[in-house]
Amino acid sequence: MTRAEQRNCPECGGRMQTGFLIDRRQGLEARAIEWAEGEPVRNWLGVLRLRGRTRYRAATFRCEKCGRLASWAHDRLA
């Protein structure tokens, strides 16, 4: 599935707009949201363990008609 494909809202059938959710980290740093397989596990410092997990960049779409947000994870990260 590519980002250029037209998507329709599963709720009302309206046109979905491309966008993204922002994950604010320490300070003012902002990054796009990622999806990772499995349950979240943290190390002793409270940092999520991501090594060895399959991760994807998440693309989020907003329905222009009803405002519903829906996300797809289709771009695999290295």
pLDDT per position as a tens digit, 29-60: 767 778 888 888 888 998 888 888 888 888 88
Give the pLDDT score at 66: 93
Give the pLDDT score at 47: 82
CB atoms within 10 A of CB 60: 17
Percentage of residues of the chain with pLDDT beyond 70: 76
Confidence band, pLDDT 50/70/90 cuts, at residue 1 = very low
Pairwise CA distance, residues 6 & 56, whole Å: 20
Give the pLDDT score at 3: 47
